[in-house]
Structure 1
Amino acid sequence: MTPGSDTQSALQLALRGMRNHCPRCDHKPLFRRYLKPVERCAGCGQDWTLHQADDFPAYIAIFISGHLLAPVLIAAGSRELLPMGVLAVIAILGALLLTIALLQPAKGAVIALQYHWRMHGFESVDAPRQSQRD
């Protein structure tokens, strides 16, 4: 498979981004700091400053952590296994830790999907521009 080819599925690219790998060539790392992507991939030279992930990765991380924590807290609270204060501490720490743990993989997946769907400037990276003819 050539980098940027249409034979790479959105899921494959998203999984690469989640693993901190370049979605285009699978070279590591995609991030130079926790949430700061590298300017250019060392393997393929892809410019990753074009992405515009904004707050969407945070929404994804919060959504997933809430859906993972809610059943646990509901089950523990309905059976009165733990005092409410302990449940509150578990809920706060669990939400904080899960959200922080899921934030970088979510951002990697969002960046990879933006690349796959040619959003925010990625469209001109792989596809040659067609000149307008009169």
Structure 2
Amino acid sequence: MTSGHTGNEEGQPGIAAAALSGLCPRCGARTLFAGPARFAPKCRVCGLDFSRFDVGDGPAALLILIIGALVAGLAIWLQLTADPPYWLQALIWIPVTTALVIGGLRIAKAALLASEFRNKSGEARSGQ
């Protein structure tokens, strides 16, 4: 399979597919996560050690800023256009914000881990 990327071997999912579906970047099995946004220790299928990868807090910080600005803007817009009671605003925006942060964090962390694996960077090189 020729795609122009030196790390793309047969059977490995692309970064977008791995991020959106929580796929192991080596074998493509749906084994990346053990919780809502927590990586599994290793792939149950191919044995890839996910703990070698360090995605850090970059995805979380960026997502909080983006989602916070988006939700604040939408909440202000809703308040100015429909004037709902404050309890309704809380009832709407607390679950929406939580879902967006957890969903976005899963995608961002998975994309970063898949990218590290694909590019053989840092911790991904050690132990292979």
Contact 1:13/1:24, CA 8 A, preserved across alignment: no
Gaps of 5+ in 1: 127-134
**C-alpha deviation, 1:64, in angstroms:** 4.2
**C-alpha deviation, 1:82, in angstroms:** 1.3
**Which residue number corresponds to residue 6 of structure 1?**
6
What is the identity percentage for the equivalent residue pairs of Structure 1 and Structure 2? 28
**Which residue number corresponds to residue 107 of structure 1?**
109
Computed over aligned residues only, the root mean square deviation of the Cα atoms, in angstroms, reads 3.0
Instruction: Give the direction of change, closer, same or farther, for the CA distance of 1:19–1:63 in structure 2 (3 Å limit).
Output: farther
Instruction: Give the direction of change, closer, same or farther, for the CA distance of 1:91–1:21 in structure 2 (3 Å limit).
Output: same
**Which residue number corresponds to residue 55 of structure 1?**
57
**Which residue number corresponds to residue 120 of structure 1?**
122
User: Once structures 1 and 2 are overlaid, which stretch shifts more, 48-57 or 69-78?
Assistant: 69-78
Contact 2:18/2:24, CA 8 A, preserved across alignment: yes
**C-alpha deviation, 1:121, in angstroms:** 1.9
**TM norm structure 1:** 0.67
Alignment-mate amino acid for residue 6 of structure 1: T
Contact 1:20/1:108, CA 8 A, preserved across alignment: yes
**C-alpha deviation, 1:88, in angstroms:** 4.2
Contact 2:63/2:104, CA 8 A, preserved across alignment: yes
* Higher-helix-fraction structure: 2
Contact 1:60/1:106, CA 8 A, preserved across alignment: no
Alignment-mate amino acid for residue 60 of structure 2: A
**Which residue number corresponds to residue 132 of structure 1?**
none
**Which residue number corresponds to residue 45 of structure 2?**
43
Contact 2:71/2:93, CA 8 A, preserved across alignment: yes
